[in-house]
Amino acid sequence: MGGCEVREFLLQFGFFLPLLTAWPGYCSHVSNNQVVLLDTTTVLGELGWKTYPLNGWDAITEMDEHNRPIHTYQVCNVMEPNQNNWLRTNWISRDAAQKIYVEMKFTLRDCNSIPWVLGTCKETFNLYYVESDESHGIKFKPSQYTKIDTIAADESFTQMDLGDRILKLNTEIREVGPIERKGFYLAFQDIGACIALVSVRVFYKKCPFTVRNLAMFPDTIPRVDSSSLVEVRGSCVKSAEERDTPKLYCGADGDWLVPLGRCICSTGYEEVEGSCHACRPGFYKAFAGNTKCSKCPPHSLTYMEATSICQCEKGYFRAEKDPPSMACTRPPSAPRNVVFNINETALILEWSPPSDTGGRKDLTYSVICKKCGLDTSQCEDCGGGLRFIPRHTGLINNSVIVLDFVSHVNYTFEIEAMNGVSELSFSPKPFTAITVTTDQDAPSLIGMVRKDWASQNSIALSWQAPAFSNGAILDYEIKYYEKEHEQLTYSSTRSKAPSVIITGLKPATKYIFHIRVRTTTGYSGYSQKFEFETGDETSDMAAEQGQILVIATAAVGGFTLLVILTLFFLITGRCQWYIKAKMKSEEKRRNHLQNGHLRFPGIKTYIDPDTYEDPSLAVHEFAKEIDPSRIRIERVIGAGEFGEVCSGRLKTPGKREIPVAIKTLKGGHMDRQRRDFLREASIMGQFDHPNIIRLEGVVTKSRPVMIVVEYMENGSLDSFLRKHDGHFTVIQLVGMLRGIASGMKYLSDMGYVHRDLAARNILVNSNLVCKVSDFGLSRVLEDDPEAAYTTTGGKIPIRWTAPEAIAYRKFSSASDAWSYGIVMWEVMSYGERPYWEMSNQDVSAANS
């Protein structure tokens, strides 16, 4: 049938099929990881399947309200013994499939509801297949067919259902594979049941083409062996490049698992919804990576798309080592305020930095000396006679000392400023010139210097301004050093006024001071040396008495204020803290009581994470947040409902790396899935027992969300036992059971009911220690492939569950103990299936 909406149609089926109305679920939902090879609901003409003998299966084709055919095959020879009725499909091409799935929708009549058929009526039919390269002309020989399975109905219908016009449609899916020939036939064998086969859908699963982390992964067919994954290498999308080899694993169900590695957008491109888009004009991206395009930095532009670096505006440049993110810059303006100071032997030139540094910090200066006549256009180079200290080019400080000049000469000094882009500009370098006549008088020396006071660490000095300054006084330079260490090291400071307080001195130590003045024409010579001593403790007290008095007054005032404030905050703060703490403990107690968890006062009990209004609070209360950089994923070891399970290593600062299992939450999850996923961590984090799987922590603040637990080398107990059938002594098996019992006792003491105790949910480490895992209440049951829906609507692993829990969901430590009994049986039988192939219905019936 076409659309999968609930539709109404009528179907008359022999004497036992009811008039059917509102038959939901007749249509199949096809997900994009299924490739359908046959779907009888979409075949328009006759199906044309073969039936043997001719009076066995009957084809009935009805039309739905859209005038499309509904192909049904029915058989109901329940009165006659020894039925052997075959229905064979046409040849089905296997396409790329290795493993195929057959989905059958059918109704089956309950034998008890048909009178007089005891002994002849059956409630199952058999599904067979045969592989073939030939699509035609094959004679039907039952002996060539291989049995896939006996198909029983989960729900059969009775006469009463017929009366109530209730149709119980069963859906069963079986896997077949590996298929090696070009195609195959399916066959349905009836041995005396009352069946209507309403639809058959044959499909295989594939991991569909996908793009993850900017890498493309082609359609991939999963392995036949459902526990192993196909590793697929991705290729980068257009304008992207590989960072770490991008890989995905194709799981048996056609799901892509564990994205590893990635591609990144190349320079000039940025990521937009899974592809790399060129940067717009005016934007650039200089490095490959998953960053966005950035606006061109100041004084740069681009009119093109996909730009990796913006061009500088006219007059602006980028030095070789400038990063693309830096603004374009230009050469500086000329230095300012050049002054000189000259004595008989040395000429000191000083200047201020340029008003415009061009936007850079790498300013340097050069000094060019020229000798000019009266006509300044006729200048000549000063030649090599002069010495510049430290040098005449590449000066970082704003001064230079010129030595070895000749008297009575006019020297013109041009001070140039330059920066990292000056060489890139063709314009002449701006400079400021100063002309110095070498017999000019310097300002006169400072005369007497007085000590105003001295403390242990400071001295206050004052002096008279010089009698002759030859220009405006700019400031005074005071040079000083310890008398004992004369000339080894000295310090200097400046003062605009003719007085200074020098601090940071040693107590009771003699210091030498000399001072010079700086005017617009340069420095004077240094004054004569003056020797002053710092004070000892007594002098300090005297000198600083005034200050101490002020400080003490302030301190007393401050302290009093502090005491008042502290008292105020203590009183109000404590009150608040006390109130908060009390509220918190009260809230917890209420939660406990509400949920029946205040079991044994003083003994730690389990807290249901669902009692937290915000479940993320629960996970952070019970689980440590791990920085993902501490986790190294190595291998995929399986696939869970929420995502893949990997093995790897966890690094803890100051500790050895430990092996861990990492459960991941698939991308694209809903909030609810994330909550359900993390609920397991919130539960596991509350337990601390050698037979309960230990939680190392969670990753919730980055993607993918992960739960990190201790690594159990031998995986789950059921498959471990099946793999090592007969290898252990009874003592060893009982040892495993003892461990599980100990873990379960701990859980029951904590007030936790597991609900899904089974060997598949026990993990085994390399020392054969068994630990209980798979926590999560209802989620566990959703996740468990063994869980089946009960008549009350819940999903329950029937074979492991106590009758009262199946019947009215009475789960308790007592029902966990029932499950433990089943686990004992599983262990001692090396992982055999409890109740072997008995149907769930029969198991429940046997136990109730």
The catalytic residue positions are 756
- Is 637 a binding residue for ligand ACK by CB under 6 A? The answer is yes
- Is 645 a binding residue for ligand ACK by CB under 6 A? The answer is yes
Specify the residue, 201 or 771, whose C-beta has the smaller distance to ligand ACK. 771
Specify the residue, 318 or 760, whose C-beta has the smaller distance to ligand ACK. 760
Contacting range for ligand ACK; rule: CB under 6 A; set: 211-219, 406-414, 532-540, 635-643: 635-643
- DSSP state at residue 231: E
Least separation in angstroms between CB 660 and ligand ACK: 8
Least separation in angstroms between CB 53 and ligand ACK: 47
Out of 498, 507, 628, 638, the only residue in the binding site for ligand ACK (CB under 6 A) is 638
Least separation in angstroms between CB 770 and ligand ACK: 12
Least separation in angstroms between CB 257 and ligand ACK: 11
Q: Report the C-alpha gap between 497 and 465 in whole angstroms.
A: 9
Candidates 482, 449, 483, 490; CA nearest to 466 is 449
Least separation in angstroms between CB 724 and ligand ACK: 13
Specify the residue, 197 or 252, whose C-beta has the smaller distance to ligand ACK. 252
User: 577 in the Ramachandran plot: left (φ > 0), alpha (ψ -120 to 50) or beta?
Assistant: alpha
Candidates 172, 181, 454, 421; CA nearest to 317 is 421
- Is 56 a binding residue for ligand ACK by CB under 6 A? The answer is no
Contact between 196 and 73 under an 8 Å Cβ cutoff? The reply is yes
> Rounded to whole angstroms, what are the CA distances from 637 to 523, 640, 677, 708?
82, 10, 18, 14
663 among the known binding-site residues?
Answer: yes
- Is 281 a binding residue for ligand ACK by CB under 6 A? The answer is no
Tell me the residue ranges of DSSP E strands in 467-509: 473-482, 491-495, 499-502
Burial class (CB in 10 A: 0-12, 13-18, 19+), 758: buried
Number of helices followed by number of strands (H, E) in the chain: 11, 49
Specify the residue, 265 or 639, whose C-beta has the smaller distance to ligand ACK. 639
Tell me the residue ranges of DSSP E strands in 66-135: 69-76, 85-88, 92-93, 100-108, 124-132
Q: Report the C-alpha gap between 171 and 29 in whole angstroms.
A: 12
Q: What single-letter amino acid sits at 21?
A: T
| HSE-up of residue 642 (Cα within 13 Å, Cβ side) | 27
User: 132 in the Ramachandran plot: left (φ > 0), alpha (ψ -120 to 50) or beta?
Assistant: beta
Specify the residue, 333 or 765, whose C-beta has the smaller distance to ligand ACK. 765
Beta strands 431-437 and 410-418 are antiparallel
Least separation in angstroms between CB 629 and ligand ACK: 21
The residues in 452-481 that bind ligand ACK, with binding defined as CB under 6 A, are none
Specify the residue, 618 or 661, whose C-beta has the smaller distance to ligand ACK. 661
Least separation in angstroms between CB 211 and ligand ACK: 26
Site string for ligand ACK, 664-703 (x = CB under 6 A): -----------------------------x----------
Least separation in angstroms between CB 579 and ligand ACK: 43
Specify the residue, 678 or 693, whose C-beta has the smaller distance to ligand ACK. 693
Contact between 222 and 203 under an 8 Å Cβ cutoff? The reply is no
> Rounded to whole angstroms, what are the CA distances from 129 to 42, 100, 392, 546?
22, 11, 97, 109
Q: Say how many residues touch ligand ACK, by CB under 6 A.
A: 13
Specify the residue, 251 or 358, whose C-beta has the smaller distance to ligand ACK. 251
Specify the residue, 264 or 712, whose C-beta has the smaller distance to ligand ACK. 712
- Write the CB contacts of 235 (distance below 8 Å, at least 6 apart in sequence): 215, 216, 246
The residues in 606-625 that bind ligand ACK, with binding defined as CB under 6 A, are none
Contact between 120 and 79 under an 8 Å Cβ cutoff? The reply is yes
> Rounded to whole angstroms, what are the CA distances from 735 to 691, 731, 738, 768, 838?
12, 6, 5, 9, 29
> Rounded to whole angstroms, what are the CA distances from 515 to 452, 494, 501, 610?
16, 9, 13, 80
Out of 363, 763, 796, 822, the only residue in the binding site for ligand ACK (CB under 6 A) is 763
Q: Rg for the chain (alpha carbons), in Å?
A: 46
Least separation in angstroms between CB 763 and ligand ACK: 5
Least separation in angstroms between CB 639 and ligand ACK: 6
Least separation in angstroms between CB 129 and ligand ACK: 29
Specify the residue, 398 or 664, whose C-beta has the smaller distance to ligand ACK. 664
Buried b / exposed e along 406-423 (16+ C-beta atoms within 10 A): eeeeebbbbbbbbbbbbe
Out of 264, 502, 661, 772, the only residue in the binding site for ligand ACK (CB under 6 A) is 661
**DSSP of 780-843:** HHHH-TT-EE-TTS-EE-GGGS-HHHHHH---SHHHHHHHHHHHHHHHHTTSPPTTTT--HHHH
Contacting range for ligand ACK; rule: CB under 6 A; set: 291-299, 402-410, 633-641, 837-845: 633-641
Task: Return the axis-axis angle of helices 615-622 and 671-684, rounded to nearest 10°.
Answer: 30
SS (H, E, C) 288-302: CCCCCCEECCCCEEC
- Is 640 a binding residue for ligand ACK by CB under 6 A? The answer is yes
Specify the residue, 190 or 784, whose C-beta has the smaller distance to ligand ACK. 784
> Rounded to whole angstroms, what are the CA distances from 262 to 212, 216, 226, 249, 703?
8, 10, 26, 14, 14
- DSSP state at residue 702: S
Contact between 454 and 510 under an 8 Å Cβ cutoff? The reply is no
The residues in 707-736 that bind ligand ACK, with binding defined as CB under 6 A, are 709, 711-712, 715-716, 719
Quickly count: other Cβ atoms within 10 Å of residue 488's Cβ. Answer: 8
Binding-site residue set: 663
Using CB under 6 A as the criterion, which residues of the chain lie in contact with ligand ACK when the complex forms?
637-638, 640, 645, 661, 693, 709, 711-712, 715-716, 719, 763
Binding-site residue set for ATP: 663
